[in-house]
A = this chain, B = another copy of it.
């Protein structure tokens, strides 16, 4: 067996997980062991893939993708993850479907699940609705399985909702595990999760919420920074505070990017729309109030425009630990002078970390596949061991 795979398998042999036939919606609903298992399994899969070993564990089966907003990255990550395991992606295109014509969520969830192992859902546009929809779908297939409508109980995987973005934050955790030589080394390290200026408004809250929700479990010192009024969903602040206590880390909210950056080991400057704005936007979208939406957009852009100094530049980077903090971003970033006139980060800073951000993103397919493995097999460790031992070639060179 591949030596590196063997070592990684040892990491998961002692972990207790109870994820079979469940879903992966919010990281804070998973235990520490389950979080670690997800991370290590992602790395095993990446290692096997790198060594041309096939990670196919399904001869047949579907993975349903249900994207309610645009996405390049996660759409491809989900398709890549499905393919890694031998599942075929089928897209639930709500324009082509009859959902627009009054079909209930409960019925649709069953109609798409007869042959499905996994349902990946992205729904982050409506505050209060995305996570709720995912839970509704999970309950629907749970009932369908229980009632004998479905032969298997598909797992719902959150590809970003209004609350959390687990595939992104788990990929970020994998990245930090590599960069700092192990998540144990994250204890006591400072991460600045800060707001940043962007020429667009309305970016989702799930990344900052997800980051503070996950990294607060690692014993880290979290500095969440935003201009006054640019709050996240209050509940997620509570989650972060509780996690920090339990893990021996710390959590603070500051209103200065510089203060957050000071002595930080990791910086994650990313724009978002205030929680209150997203609430208002949701109502306006619901009422199809185009005039109201235009108004809101103007206000927000006007407010944002006063905060162009919330830009990650060389000067702010020099405030970090040895001036060498790891810059992170979920991509795509608004890069000043590259993708926009004024943005979240300057061209020079971004270019220094560009390849690192690509590597950060590169964990996503493997993270999603790990979530699939843990929720579709009760004995994930044995399954992975079999795959690593058999070492079927992915590309058949002979």
Contact = CB atoms under 8 A, between A and B. Distances in A.
Contact of A61 (B83, B116, B200): B83
Interface stretch (A146-154, A250-258, A295-303, A309-317): A146-154
Contact of A115 (B49, B72, B75, B339): B49
Given A49-B115, A355-B149, A398-B383, A332 B59 contact: no
Contact of A70 (B96, B110, B392): B96
Contacts of A34: none
A358 B144 contact: yes
B148 A359 contact: yes
Contact of A102 (B60, B70, B332): B332
B84 A96 contact: no
Contacts of A200: 101
Interface stretch (A50-58, A222-230, A266-274): A50-58
A89 interface: yes
A79 B83 contact: no
Given A72-B103, A115-B80, A58 B386 contact: no
24 contacts: A54-B59, A60-B84, A61-B395, A62-B80, A67-B96, A70-B96, A72-B96, A72-B103, A76-B92, A76-B112, A76-B114, A80-B114, A80-B115, A83-B88, A89-B90, A102-B332, A102-B334, A103-B331, A114-B364, A149-B359, A150-B362, A379-B398, A382-B397, A383-B398
A107 B359 contact: no
A99 interface: yes
Given A56-B396, A61-B395, 12 more contacts: A55-B60, A56-B59, A60-B84, A67-B96, A70-B97, A79-B90, A80-B114, A83-B115, A88-B89, A104-B338, A107-B331, A110-B358
A375 to B, nearest CB: 12
A300 B46 CA distance: 54
Contacts of A112: 72, 76
A72 B137 CA distance: 16
Contact of A395 (B77, B377, B394): B377
A376 interface: yes
B102 A72 contact: no
Interface centre among A79, A116, A148, A386 (most CB of B within 10 A): A79
Interface string A339-378: 1100000000000000100110110110000000000110
Interface in A84-100: 84, 86, 88-90, 92, 96-99
Contact of A103 (B101, B332, B359): B332
A85 to B, nearest CB: 8
Contacts of A117: 395
A324 interface: no
Those 9 A-B pairs whose CB atoms lie nearest each other, nearest first: A80-B115, A72-B97, A102-B339, A54-B59, A149-B358, A103-B332, A50-B151, A79-B90, A147-B355
Contacts of A108: 72
A365 B383 CA distance: 28
A356 to B, nearest CB: 9
A72 B364 CA distance: 29
A73 interface: yes
Nearest to A395: B58
Contacts of A72: 92, 96-99, 103, 108, 111-112
Nearest to A148: B359
Interface string A194-208: 000000100000000
